Amino acid sequence: MGLRSAPMSRVVLVGLKGDRDRILSYLHDHGVIQVESLGKEGLKEFAPDHPGGEQREILEQQARVKALVQALPPVPVDLKQHFDDVPALLSAARGVPIDEEVRQRKRREDQLITEVKAAEDELHLVEDYAFFPGDFGLLRARSLASYFGEASDEAFASFEYELDQAAPDRLLFSAPFDKRVRFVVSLPRERAEAVTRAAQKLSVRLVPVPETLSGTATALAPTMKAHLAEQERELAGVRGELAELARRWVPVLLPLEEQLDVEARKAELISRMGSSREAFALEGWMPKDRVDGLAQGLEGLTGGRTLLFPVKSEESPPTLLKNRRGPRTYEFFIRFYSFPQSAEIDPTLVFAIVFPIFFGVMLGDVGYGAVILAICLWLIWRVGNPRAGRTLVPRSLVRFTTMIMPPSGMKQLAKALIPGCLVAMGLGVLFDEYFGFSLAQITFGHFNFQLFDPVSNSGVAKLLLYAGYTGLAMVSLGFLFGVVNSLTEGKKREAIAKGIWLVLAWDIALAGLALLHKQITINPVATPLTGVFLGVAVVLILGVAALEGGQGAIEVMSLVSHILSYTRLVGILLASVILAVVINKIALGLFHNGFLVIAGLAILIIGQGFNIILGVFEPGIQGARLIYVEYFSKFYHGGGRIFRPFGGARRYTEAQFPPHAPPPAGQIPGP
């Protein structure tokens, strides 16, 4: 773990065509190289390659097997299968003879699903409108437009009035139903448009009487139920046949699908490679510390017939972050903002340290921290157990949250908030804040055990001073990282400018502190120290203007605002504390009146719930913003490419060349 991503090396691999399949399998199973298109130098010696007939058949069989897997119901598969080579894989894929059988049953299943749904809808209509005394077939006369309808009591009264105006010669039957009205209306076809417009205006639901309905409700319902039961039995039978096919063939198909995916990825690489009559070449990026190990493994694989060597490249390499498990959780925030370039400092570690502290400071309450911690732990458990049973959380709320962020993202966010909740609980003990209540005062009366009062004048002054120091530290660290990044990229002029900004930040901060302690005055002539601070600032601003132009001098005010912006840590903390205290006072005041106890309890629960919601969003958003804007802007460029090595996880197949057991030299004979 460090502040730098893994050093990357551009490499060229040259081998014989007879070894290509095994080499690509070896690269896939080890997953250490991101294959790129062959460069100009490589194309001078090797022509662009194209997939052959075998690769085309791989893609065809891949699409075929995937379609079969998707058509069959899922079956748990625990085995792992091994395929010796591509011909054996293709032979196994061709040997699956169930295409037509699955196609026919799947087509029949889809047809039956449609028919069952239509039959259910018609049966519900007949049952819901069984109050109609006549034959439904009479409603389907060519000159009539007939509808089943439903509306609220108020809407039906208005609709009936509109109906009388638009079609006075209509036929209407209605019946009350659970504070609503269901009705059957039949009218001349030429009046239908006016009636449907009125129904749309009044939010009245109209459904045309189906052409298939003929007979009375009493006679139709038993027949329709019997027909529906027969269709459902047939559907269950077709699904049983598909399930039987799945039990037999899914354990065969899933390993085939996975290995065909591997071979398809290998076939895709061929278009990026170059080839000659006997040899092939590919280029790519890989971690520098893995080059020697991969070269030795390939040498042992092919008996010394493969070359792997690094080459110089002007192209920016992809980025491979190397954070450990804890800080790796906060890569979620870095990816959300912008991925770092390979040459610049990785900000994940600092984010992982600073963000929980900022979140905890702005929350600063034991109760709120404990509730949010419990929610985070529940989210982690719930996402990790998709088959978990029903919970107290409404499904509508679950669906709404998944619309905002996918479950995997919520799990990452929950993990990232846990340290911040612990910091909030620790500071809550220091502040004696428990949902805005003072536990010491409740327990011991007026005896105060509060170690630090964040709302008192002295407490606010200290917190603001600490926030200012925090802002200075973060801005300084940003400029320091900016100097390092600029020197790494060979931009000396930019590095000097960042250094000047760093010194200027400290000059302004020290001048501000001296002014607060009345060591200097606003008048530069009053004290020599005032002139020193002012003179240093003028020289530094002129230096920035010379290096960055007039725009650099204008940014001085932004520098001051970025340092002072960290005082929002205190502002949000005070807002949360004061809002909790106000909610508690109002609720407790109502508790003294016996008639208003329920109102006070409602205010307490709703108000505290609202403050908890604010306690998630405000500290989370503002904590991330302080890092993104005031800190990242001093050094971070982003826009990097994520390192995506050629390879993939295996679940149903065995790796041909496991990374932990590379073949010794000479073990695999040549072609």
Residue-wise pLDDT tens digits, 320-337: 998 988 899 999 899 989
Q: Is the pLDDT of residue 401 over 70?
A: no
Q: Using CA atoms, how far apart are residues 77 and 531, in angstroms rounded to an integer?
A: 79
Mean pLDDT within 529-549:
69
Question: Is the C-alpha dihedral spanning 492, 497, 499, 500 positive or negative?
Answer: positive
- Residue 404 has a pLDDT of 64
Higher pLDDT, 220 or 515: 220
Of 261, 272, 262, residue with least CA distance to 51:
272
- Residue 40 has a pLDDT of 79
**Do the Cβ atoms of 359 and 423 come closer than 8 Å?**
yes
Question: Is the C-alpha dihedral spanning 473, 478, 481, 486 positive or negative?
Answer: negative
Higher pLDDT, 391 or 490: 490
Global pTM?
0.77
- Give the confidence band of 71 by pLDDT, cuts at 50, 70, 90: very high
- Give the confidence band of 397 by pLDDT, cuts at 50, 70, 90: low
- Residue 664 has a pLDDT of 42
- Residue 524 has a pLDDT of 61
What does pLDDT average to over the chain? 86
- Residue 644 has a pLDDT of 93
- Residue 449 has a pLDDT of 62
Residue-wise pLDDT tens digits, 515-529: 776 666 666 666 666
Domain covering 134-215: architecture: 2-Layer Sandwich (3.30)
- The count of other CB atoms within 10 Å of the CB of residue 346 is 26
Higher pLDDT, 364 or 661: 364
Higher pLDDT, 231 or 398: 231
- Give the confidence band of 593 by pLDDT, cuts at 50, 70, 90: confident
The answer for residues whose C-beta is within 8 angstroms of residue 460's C-beta and 6 or more apart is 454, 570, 574
Domain extents for the chain?
A: 134-215, 325-481+543-634
Task: Detail the DSSP E strand segments found in 232-357.
Answer: 274-275, 279-287, 307-311
Q: Using CA atoms, how far apart are residues 81 and 199, in angstroms rounded to an integer?
A: 62
